[in-house]
Amino acid sequence: MHAHVVMARYVIYWICISYDIKMKENQSIGSFTTEKGSKVIVRAVSRSDSEKLRSFINELSREKTYIRFQGEEMSREAEQTYIDGFVDSMEKGKALKLLAFKGDTLVGVADVYLRDRVESHVGVFGLTVALPYRGRGIGTLLLTLMLKHVRDAIPALRILTLGVFATNAPAIRLYEGHGFIRHGLLPGGLLHKGEYVDHIDMHRIIRR
């Protein structure tokens, strides 16, 4: 009888901790050397990252790279509000943002957030790497780590989606190499540097 009671308690405890797997603010993922030799530290976002992230996105915006921002500036207030909301969602198991650092420098960001209502099982993926650090395997590392952790961090996630500029061939190769499938194309759906380019929609099944 006592043995059964102890086992029951053990099973109940194991079940409780197995479901407590949502990513915590500032949680360390680890130190990594990319396939091309770059050493980076990856961790989950924290509320105190607001200024680093604001500088990061504003620099990408000024570059007018393959993102939605094309020269616009994110204010401190707007960025802090965004990060606070994202961390809240992450702690509820509805989002995940991973940051890659080279020393104290933020060099890459990957994130997933859930849509809502009838699409609350569908996540949207984004990936950006700072210009001086592209081509070093950091994007590949962040994508690989996201696919490893997102299933547990966002329990409701079933399908991961993304949008990509048709002119961004390296990103398309990266995504297709990690199991993403094209399912749609909007001709001329994006205005980039004065030209209309096609917008490609892709997805990957996370769980059925």
The pLDDT tens digits of the residues spanning 1-38 come to: 444 444 334 343 333 333 446 899 999 999 999 989 99
**Residues 6 or more apart whose Cβ sits within 8 Å of residue 48:** 26
Q: Cα separation of 161 and 153, whole Å?
A: 16
Q: Cα separation of 41 and 34, whole Å?
A: 11
Answer whether residue 132 shows pLDDT above 70: yes
β 181-192/159-165 pair status: unpaired
Q: Which of these, 121, 204, 205, 206, lies nearest to 156 by C-alpha position?
A: 121
Whole-prediction pTM value? 0.89
For the residues 66-70, what does the mean pLDDT come to? 96
Residue 66 structure tokens: 């393959």
The pLDDT tens digits of the residues spanning 103-131 come to: 999 999 999 999 999 999 999 999 999 99
Which class in CATH covers the domain with range 23-205?
alpha beta
User: In the chain, what are the domain boundaries?
Assistant: 23-205
The amino acid occupying position 35 is E
